[in-house]
Structure 1
Amino acid sequence: MTLNNRRLFTPEKPNDHTCALKVIDWYRQNARDLPWRAEGTSPWAVLLSEVMSQQTPVARVIPQWEEWMRRWPTPNDFAQASTDEVLRAWGRLGYPRRALRLLECAREISTRFNGEVPHQVEDLLALPGIGDYTARAVACFAYHQPVPVVDTNVRRVYARLVQATFYSPPARKSELRLIADFYPSGKEPECAVALMELGALVCTASSPDCGHCPVYRECAWQRAGCPEPSAQEQAAKKKRVQKFIGTDRQVRGKIMALLRESKEVKRADIDALWPKPAQLSRALFSLIDDGLAEEHKAGVFRLPV
């Protein structure tokens, strides 16, 4: 259903837990067969999937995740890897600093927690590179703890279903309590992943497939008559979308791709990657500052060893 379509049914006032149970039933029948959802997946594997999936399409994550789990099935295994080895294995997932933080994280787990991923949110938050969402996701999905997990998909589904808002507003701490109340007691982990899946497959950002939504009749946005986003909401949404083409991030990606292909790269080969010398230099030296590249000798660069 597009934004211009209107109600084709008699709306119903929703009950939060009834809605949640409907979403869970839908998830059980429609969930994607993602490898980290398999029975017996380790907490380390869950943590790895969550970090890799940040701002990266699942289709790109799956082969990388499977390769990493073959090579480094535990935090102790990964803690022994070298920096350049990790950056090459990260490939084109994007935001390669995540790979360095994962290495630091694995080493902290290995030394401080005897190689076992901690299960408390507070301990997870103390690990390098682990933010509030990832800590809660690991506690919920790996250890089945009843903690609210709120990502972009969950926020969008909740905003439409409960708040009648097409675009979710900027994140705030109070959402955790509100969404925690939405979860039926004892079904928090399954409800969280079900809301995520509904947002990924049906209640998508720009073209929601409302006709296939399990809570279509209860949706507050539908009951309000499918109001168009306001100009202010659209402007705020557009502002939050990051550009890529022509940015330093694109140039950094080109340099990293070249560095991954060779043990050493001459500056002249890097200069040939991009037509704007000042932007190229800025991108190169920002990679060095971030610990993603190093000048091995004058005019010769490589991944950190």
Structure 2
Amino acid sequence: MSSVPTPLPRTGAHAVPHGLHEAVVRWFDDAARDLPWRHPDCSPWGVLVSEFMLQQTPVVRVLPVWRAWLQRWPRPADLAAESPGEAVRAWGRLGYPRRALRLHAAAVELVERHGGEVPADHDALLALPGVGAYTAAAVAVFAFGGRQTVVDTNIRRVHARAVSGRGLPSRSLTAAETRLAEELMPADDVLSVRWNQAVMELGALVCTARSPKCGQCPLEDRCAWVAAGRPEPEEAPRGQSWHGTDRQVRGAIMAVLRAGAEPVPARHLTGPVDLADAARLPPGALRALDALHDLAAPEEQRRRALEGLLRDGLAVAGAAGVSLPG
């Protein structure tokens, strides 16, 4: 490991733990998960795909889909040549399938404006469809080794506890949190990349929201939150409901559409099941349709969910029925 610069004794209004960078980066050298998008031979496209998939989705669910995606579409041009509906189909059950549409649109943009390559420039990344401030910074850092401030939920939580002494960060990113992240960033470009990776991993594996493993943390003896007696967070974390929600019904309808190549009559999705009529569907679509109706969601809710999918461009309606976008 190269020498680690000593951090400033204070950052803004916060006392910075002594040896902060060194402790966290050394911990990461031993504890980091072996993730394929971290490998030196992973392409910038592979990194970009991982960042889209990891939004609000745990690593364990992303890994198999990411591998299948990169095997099928190893370059942006490969995905851009397919229909948006194929991107949605391959997205599977990762959730928030609009990310698949945006990733497809980004691939088209990369082909049309960037010669089929992911640009290293932060502003060019930020201009891609579906790429916000976090994703642009993450790709610039993790694919190209740029010195950018990456601030995700895990990083914010480590900063809040270790430096600010708070149980959890605010629900939304604040300007003060962004300034703190910038001030904590090592000056060395190479080390700044490692620092971003290390803090993110520490938040994901140890400094978790509900059950932090303080005994395994390299910062336990210098953490402002521990020193303050582990005060309760000002805002308790809220779990996302799923069962009985429109999101669950939307997901079940999407499963029906993904399971077959042919359009599905809208009446199968929103009305009572006519088994003789539905028997013409492929077996996979028929099983998914059974699962949709097993939810016992009211027809009004199923209709509302379908209308939302049509409005979001995740499904299209034609004379033969509803299908994934072509």
**TM superposition score normalised by structure 1:** 0.90
* 1:185 aligned residue: 187
Q: Decide which of 221, 225, 234 is 2:225's aligned counterpart.
A: 221
1:205-244 to 2 correspondence within 5 Å?
A: 205-230=209-234, 233-234=235-236, 237-238=237-238, 241-244=239-242
Contact 1:14 1:218 survives alignment (8 Å): no
Contact 1:42 1:142 survives alignment (8 Å): yes
Inter-partner Cα distance in structure 2 for 1:109 and 1:154: 29
Q: Percent identity?
A: 49
AA partner of residue 303 (structure 1): L
AA partner of residue 32 (structure 1): R
Contact 2:16 2:163 survives alignment (8 Å): no
Q: How many angstroms does 1:174 deviate by?
A: 3.6
Contact 1:17 1:182 survives alignment (8 Å): no
Contact 2:17 2:162 survives alignment (8 Å): no
Inter-partner Cα distance in structure 2 for 1:219 and 1:15: 9
**TM superposition score normalised by structure 2:** 0.84
Contact 1:267 1:301 survives alignment (8 Å): yes
AA partner of residue 227 (structure 2): R
Q: How many angstroms does 1:182 deviate by?
A: 1.1
- Other structure's SS at 2:104 match: helix
Which 5+ residue runs of structure 2 have no aligned equivalent?
1-13, 274-292
Q: Decide which of 280, 283, 286 is 2:305's aligned counterpart.
A: 283
User: Does residue 48 of structure 2 align to residue 50 of structure 1?
Assistant: no
Inter-partner Cα distance in structure 2 for 1:176 and 1:74: 33
The two structures, once aligned, show a CA RMSD in angstroms of 1.6
* 1:3 aligned residue: none
Q: Which runs of 4+ in 1 moved over 2 A?
A: 13-17, 173-177, 266-269, 271-275
Contact 2:122 2:136 survives alignment (8 Å): yes
Cα 1:184–1:163 shift into 2, 3 Å:
same
Inter-partner Cα distance in structure 1 for 2:199 and 2:38: 15
Contact 1:16 1:182 survives alignment (8 Å): no
Q: How many angstroms does 1:176 deviate by?
A: 2.6
* 1:35 aligned residue: 36
Contact 1:17 1:184 survives alignment (8 Å): no
* 2:266 aligned residue: 267
Q: How many angstroms does 1:264 deviate by?
A: 2.0
By relative contact order (CA 8 Å, sep 6+), the higher-ranking structure is 1
- Other structure's SS at 1:217 match: helix
* 2:5 aligned residue: none
Inter-partner Cα distance in structure 2 for 1:173 and 1:226: 24
- Other structure's SS at 2:19 match: helix
Inter-partner Cα distance in structure 2 for 1:275 and 1:73: 39
Inter-partner Cα distance in structure 1 for 2:197 and 2:71: 25
* 2:132 aligned residue: 131
Inter-partner Cα distance in structure 2 for 1:16 and 1:181: 13
